[in-house]
Structure 1
Amino acid sequence: MSTSIKHDDAPAGARSFTTKPRRGTKVRRQRVKAAWLFLAPMLIALTLVAGWPLVRTFFLSFTDASLSDLGAANLIGFENYLVYEDGRWYGVLADSVWWQSVWNTVYFSVVSVSLEVVFGVIVALILNAEFKGRVIVRAAVLIPWAIPTIVSAQMWAWMLNDQFGIINHLLMSVGIIDAPIAWTANATYSMWAVIMVDVWKTIPFVALLVLAALQMLPKDCYEAAEVDGIHPLRVFFKVTLPLITPALMVAVIFRLLDALRVFDVIYVLTSNSTSTMSMSVYARQQLVEFQDVGYGSAASTLLFLIIALATVAYLYAGRKQIQLGGD
């Protein structure tokens, strides 16, 4: 039903304003309902696969559960996290090894993701150029990403071995080093060895996302810049980079999530070494080797909270940056 608003004292010739109900409301509601209907199976599966284990881990973090007998667990409150007893602090938050693993994870995440973004953009720009054999090069770039992480990590562990690794052999043959280096056992080089392997593995992922964004950029901007004689570097920073920022944000958030929960690369290359131990490796050590499910669950819960906070902070900062760019 439409309603008309008329004014008796309106001047002659004045229009009468009529307000009508918004069209498409029913259709929009049907679309939303259909969307939730299609999403329901995925949400149910996600709840069963991820939600329930997360809730159970959170609950076990407040118990003294042991891997040998989970049924005999007793509630102990926040003792797995932090407790003051006999003049000393105990718990995950008082463990220096935990804080070392936090620092290792953050350092690994920042350095590896930064290098992956830089090299990924460079590779994407190369693949976006017109040259002979570009299809073959694009397929070859995907090889590191196609190899399973556990396989690539073991492959690099052999290559970096100080006794029979090819890396030491090549470096010694060209005179860069005089003696073999234990890349994964030496605390000075082990973290950089892990970062190098992770960057080699995941550069194709970033490159593919950036390449997809580059393929959708308008060509007229670059043609105009070429006619005006603008330097390519200036075109990249003033035109290309702002336009591919959304794709870079997606790449960074996915890589950041993977890096913060990294386990396989570090564990295969350096096992439980404290110089490279990540938060996931720390939690696994408590759960499996020490069989302290309560303590390990507390570490896993803290890992989840750190990743969640980092994700929210990054998305908030990215949204603000996009809003400022739009203004």
Structure 2
Amino acid sequence: MTTTPVPDIAAEQAEVPASVSERARAERRLGWWLAGPAFVVMLLVTAYPIAQAFYESLFQYRLTDPEAREFIGLSNYGVVLTDGVWWSAVGVTVLITVITVAVEAVLGFALALVMHRALRALRPLLRTVILVPYAIITVVSAFAWFYAFDISTGFVNSWFGWLPGISADTNWFGEFGTSVTVIIASEIWKTTPFISLLLLAGLAQVPDDLQEAAKVDGATWWQRMYKVTIPNMKAAVMVALLFRTLDAFRIFDNVFIMTQGANNTEVVSFLAYRQTISRLEIGLGSAVSVLLFLCVVLISFTFIKLFKVDLASARGER
């Protein structure tokens, strides 16, 4: 049996001239009227702390000595960017972010496929079970993982002592590698359900007739996945990866509870906390916070440019 090439859905969609209908314009106007007030409130709530942090970052200001407050311009940014501690924190943050998001994307997509193809009667139960880790408060989850791997109170060493490299005296929080491994594992366990639900919503948008047409043309499962499924859920993939990457880059709770930044596990958020809260260096801490915000903006811009998703086309608007 000869097979015909599977059409590239994304390419075909790109060739269709984009002309927004009157109905689409009316829906957009209605959307802005409904979401506009909340958007303005959120903008004001977030804009003030960011502006205040930038203002404080322009001063040499230690909370224990408020009288010595002095305007120094952008000097705090120079101190932060020339300090190896900052770049070490950025490196650890990027490492945790890349590994967790990559693993969660694969596992989340697999779980989304299972939920999408499950029997209709089993779908509510599967979604409830999968959502349990995500429903747990992050601090509670972090404490649970810490006590499970702790050398004195944990059960991991006794239960898995038969595995190579694990014994009764294995100190998971004594070295960088093992500490980061536990932090990454706890993040993956906690937030994979979030990605799976977003990808499940994307799978629901893939037309069944396209799948059937590709199957009739002799396309394999992998060809249908690459040519039909993924191009039609590109918007959902972008949203899932973007939201999760931003969340992972701002990781704080797990590091704070498990290691307190020891063994070179300090991340950017914890560095800002340590400078501002522990050392009371308001100027330096604010500079770190502003740089963290700029990193988040850069990540968002990169994702949007990389995926080049037309959300109007994804909704079927022409």
TM-score (norm 1): 0.80
Answer yes or no: is 1:125 the counterpart of 2:113: yes
Greater shift, 170-179 or 44-53, is seen at 170-179
* Deviation digits for residues 215-259 of structure 1 (CA, Å, limit 9, x no counterpart): 222222333444455332222222212222211100011011111
Alignment of 1:218-257 (within 5 A): 218-257=207-246
Alignment of 1:87-98 (within 5 A): 91-98=79-86
Contact preservation (8 Å) 2:175, 2:263: no
Task: Give, as a single letter, the amino acid of the residue that structure 1 aligns with 2:38.
Answer: M
Q: Name structure 2 gaps, 5 residues minimum.
A: 1-20, 312-318
Answer yes or no: is 1:192 the counterpart of 2:181: yes
Q: Secondary structure of the residue that 1:188 maps to in structure 2?
A: helix
Using the TM superposition, give the Cα deviation of residue 198 of structure 1 relative to its aligned residue in structure 2, in angstroms: 0.5
d(CA) in 1 for partners of 2:52 and 2:252? 21
Q: Which has the larger radius of gyration?
A: 1
Structure scoring higher RCO (CA < 8 A, sep ≥ 6) equals 2
d(CA) in 2 for partners of 1:41 and 1:47? 10
Identity of matched residues, %: 34
Residues 47/218 of structure 1: CA separation in 2 closer, same or farther (3 Å cut):
closer
Counterpart in 2 of 1:289?
Answer: 278
d(CA) in 1 for partners of 2:48 and 2:67? 18
d(CA) in 1 for partners of 2:223 and 2:204? 19
Counterpart in 1 of 2:51?
Answer: 55
Task: Give, as a single letter, the amino acid of the residue that structure 2 aligns with 1:310.
Answer: I
Using the TM superposition, give the Cα deviation of residue 40 of structure 1 relative to its aligned residue in structure 2, in angstroms: 5.0
Answer yes or no: is 1:142 the counterpart of 2:131: yes
**CA RMSD in angstroms, aligned pairs only:** 2.7
* Deviation digits for residues 34-68 of structure 1 (CA, Å, limit 9, x no counterpart): 76655553244224421111101001111012223
Greater shift, 166-175 or 185-194, is seen at 166-175
Counterpart in 1 of 2:262?
Answer: 273
Counterpart in 1 of 2:9?
Answer: none
Counterpart in 2 of 1:183?
Answer: 172
Alignment of 1:68-79 (within 5 A): 68=64, 70=66, 73-79=69-75
* Deviation digits for residues 64-107 of structure 1 (CA, Å, limit 9, x no counterpart): 1222355752201222122xxxxxxxx11121111100101111
Answer yes or no: is 1:115 the counterpart of 2:103: yes
Residues 165/296 of structure 1: CA separation in 2 closer, same or farther (3 Å cut):
same
d(CA) in 1 for partners of 2:124 and 2:165? 35
Task: Give, as a single letter, the amino acid of the residue that structure 2 aligns with 1:276.
Answer: T
Aligned residues: 289
d(CA) in 2 for partners of 1:274 and 1:79? 29
d(CA) in 2 for partners of 1:171 and 1:30? 56
Greater shift, 93-102 or 63-72, is seen at 63-72
Residues 239/52 of structure 1: CA separation in 2 closer, same or farther (3 Å cut):
same
